Structure 1
Amino acid sequence: MPHTVPAYPAPELDVSQWFNAEAAPTLASLRGRVVLLHAFQMLCPACVRLATPQAQQVHEQFGRRGVAVLGLHTVFEHHEAMQPVSLEAYIFENRLSFPIGVDRPDGQGGLPMTMRAYGMQGTPTLVLVDRQGRLRQHAFGHVQDLALGVAIGTLLAEPAED
């Protein structure tokens, strides 16, 4: 279940490449919308089986209702197997239609930049950002659909401006 964190400005995403996006989305450009950030790896079983399909479902059901879903392919292991060309095939095969960014590598084989900025422990990780761009919830592991729906609904019910 996502846990509530003290509200503070969410770090901007540090992405080297985007898929399914005409222009690179930023958290600043998405102010006024709730943002679901779905961090995953193609070789993570829980991501493939549960979290990525859930992110697609949220995109389809809430995308026109004030929720922006962003995928973040954050590679911290098996670097050679998870190149952007493989990710492009994964996106196509799984019919993913939300924007997906490639987390910028740190250049030393360590944790990618956005993963590090958010203090992620692994994948899947789900982050919710409110309409003001503040980090509100952070969860490592799969979040049950009902708990995620309640969390999204709560953020959508809040006023767009403080």
Structure 2
Amino acid sequence: MPTAQIGQPAPPLPDVEWVQGKPVNFDELSGNVVLLEIFQVNCPGCFIDSLPQAIGLHQRYHTQGLTVLGIATAFEDFDKNTLENLRRLLQKGEAIGATRQLLAEYGQLVDGCLPYRIPFPVAMDQLQQPQGEASDSEINDFLDHRFAGFQQQPAIVRQQTRERVRQYLHALAFRAATFELFGLQGTPSQLLVDKRGILRASKFGHYPGLEADVQALLRE
């Protein structure tokens, strides 16, 4: 599966399962700026900073043309980052695992639950069990989007890195379609798509300039 590129049309989302809100895709949102918030249920950082930021942006700008969508993915802790736990989160606000532990330490839970609800549509990423060894093209795609300057490394380093990536992909219990389609490095990740459907930003972790970038795209 080719990886999405900044400055190119955002590829359609894979066949994700919409748990909250109606199924939607980028081609149906022409004329809107789209923020795609990608998180894991068992990801404390997603709930400390990124999801509250996305909720705030939804509240401030949804009447001005911003559409916020959430995708819960899983590239680790497959026993916790599940569809069932996502449903509990969305329906009851229940936090689990490391998320519950850290939010409790920060005093951000009420009876083990979030004191707020996620107000925008949320889907569970499409997870598939790997079939055989990763192909050369999959390994190359992984390296191109996660290892800056890989081709400038000495041959022995490139060879060793390729082998580690091959082993990593082989060991995955599941492959997350949206996570891989956009070449993400982890969670939280934020994607911005402009009014013409062009992928304009893909960020991993804390994104302090997100609101300014949203405002700029809304003005275009």
TM bucket by the smaller chain? 0.7 to 0.9
Tell me the CA shift for residue 20 of structure 1: 2.1
Which of the two has greater strand per residue?
1
1:143 aligned partner = 207
Question: Over alpha carbons, which structure has the higher Rg?
Answer: 2
Runs (5+) with no aligned partner, structure 1? none
Which of the two has greater helix per residue?
2
The 5 Å alignment of 1:39-58 reads 39-58=38-57
Q: TM-score, normalised by structure 2?
A: 0.65
1:69-126: CA deviation from partner (whole Å, max 9, x where unpaired): 0001011111122221211111231411100111101322243111111000110000
The 5 Å alignment of 1:10-159 reads 10-21=10-21, 23-92=22-91, 93=93, 94=114, 95-108=117-130, 109-144=173-208, 147-158=209-220
Is contact 1:16-1:104 (8 Å) kept?
Answer: yes
Cα 1:6/1:39, change in 2 over 3 Å: closer
Q: TM-score, normalised by structure 1?
A: 0.87
Tell me the CA shift for residue 16 of structure 1: 2.9
Q: After alignment, is 53-62 or 126-135 more displaced?
A: 53-62
Give the length in aligned residue pairs. Answer: 151
Runs (5+) with no aligned partner, structure 2? 94-113, 131-172
Tell me the CA shift for residue 6 of structure 1: 4.2
Q: CA RMSD in A?
A: 1.4
User: How many Å separate the matches in 2 of 1:104 and 1:139?
Assistant: 21
3-state DSSP class of the match of 2:187? coil
Work out the percentage of aligned pairs sharing the same amino acid.
34
User: How many Å separate the matches in 2 of 1:72 and 1:65?
Assistant: 22
